[in-house]
Amino acid sequence: MSRKLVITGASGFVGKALASQLQCNGESVLGVCRSGGELGFPMTTLLSFGDTDALKKLLSDAEVVVHCAARVHVMQETAADPLAVFREVNRDLTLKLARLAAGNGVKRFVFLSSVMVNGQSTSSREPLRPDDNPAPEEPSGTSKLEAEEGLQQLALETGMEVVIIRPPLVYGPGMKGNFARMAKLVAKGLPLPLGAIYNKRSLVGLDNLIDLIITCIDHPAAANQVFLVSDGEDLSTTQLLRSVAKAMGKPSRLIPISAGLLQLGAMLLGKKAVAQRLLGSLQVDISHTRKCLNWTPPLTVKQGLQRCFPNQQD
């Protein structure tokens, strides 16, 4: 009899890919989501996280839960109290699910957190490490940190193993957000004023993240650990744009304008946060992940980008 794995957020960017890969690996997967959508695998249920009885039934006989469901960074926030909304989803629902999991004998709870728990910039410091003092700067990171703290306490109280993974920006086929918008500009061949940016940012390809999550489902050394993840290749914004253009088979039309001038322009236009993501550095140190799990990212950045744009290359 095969074991039962529960994946939340199964219609999302990461959860869908994870559930699909696990099924390809022969696992019995129950994908859980709160909205409809084409999931690509049959074992799926629509579920309200407020339905405690349904959650208990869902978790019955489950061996591992991978919790991918979350409220992520919102570009155009409309909530009157963003932190309260982030806490409701990322902290409160996570801890409710985890308590029910522990009460139903789930052995391991894998939580997809965020590098935003560590902070948003390494422009004046060394790359982030999992044992650094947390320093979230916005509601999403704060809510994820509070969820982590609750999970770690629950692990001490119940013995259920907790694994925390903090990814930076994730890219891959079907991606959305800033990366997707940037890729569309490159595809259109528009000139971009980003040809002289010398920052360093860590990214993680979807396939590399899925590989690490699957490793964390079973690896004995993963129990009650916090892991940072990346492709192991940090790129400047200029290098990334050139790599995206190459993966698409498009020319990169980058105008060399200094980061200082772009920063000033962004501040005048009220786009400081956008400038930080494009011009600032955010690096993570994955040496603990490599050593503890004997793990290496299976794909290079080049290979990951080629998977993003398989039909656009010459």
Is residue 75 pLDDT above 80, yes or no? no
Q: Where are the domains of the chain?
A: 4-173+203-232+283-299, 177-198+236-279
d(Cα 207, Cα 276) in Å, to the nearest integer?
Answer: 26
Are 72 and 13 a contacting pair, CB within 8 Å?
A: no
Is residue 314 pLDDT above 70, yes or no? no
Neighbour-count burial for 215-249, b at 16+ CB within 10 Å, e otherwise: bbbebeebeebbbbbbbbebbbbbbbbbbbbbbbe
On whether the 4-173+203-232+283-299 domain is CATH 3.40.50.720, my answer is: yes
pLDDT digits 0-9 by tens, 290-300? 999 999 999 99
Would you state the pLDDT for residue 153? 98
Average pLDDT over residues 177-188: 87
Structure tokens at 203: 């990214």
pLDDT band of 38, cuts 50, 70, 90: very low
Would you state the pLDDT for residue 31? 83
Average pLDDT over residues 58-62: 88
d(Cα 166, Cα 169) in Å, to the nearest integer?
Answer: 10
**Amino acid residing at 247:** A
Question: Chain-wide mean pLDDT for the chain?
Answer: 89
With tokens 């695998």, the residue in question is 41
Nearest to 207 by CA among 305, 71, 69: 305
Is residue 44 pLDDT above 60, yes or no? no
Q: Considering only 33-42, 55-64, 92-101, 220-229, which range has the smallest mean pLDDT?
A: 33-42
Q: Considering only 13-17, 27-31, 204-208, 214-218, which range has the smallest mean pLDDT?
A: 27-31
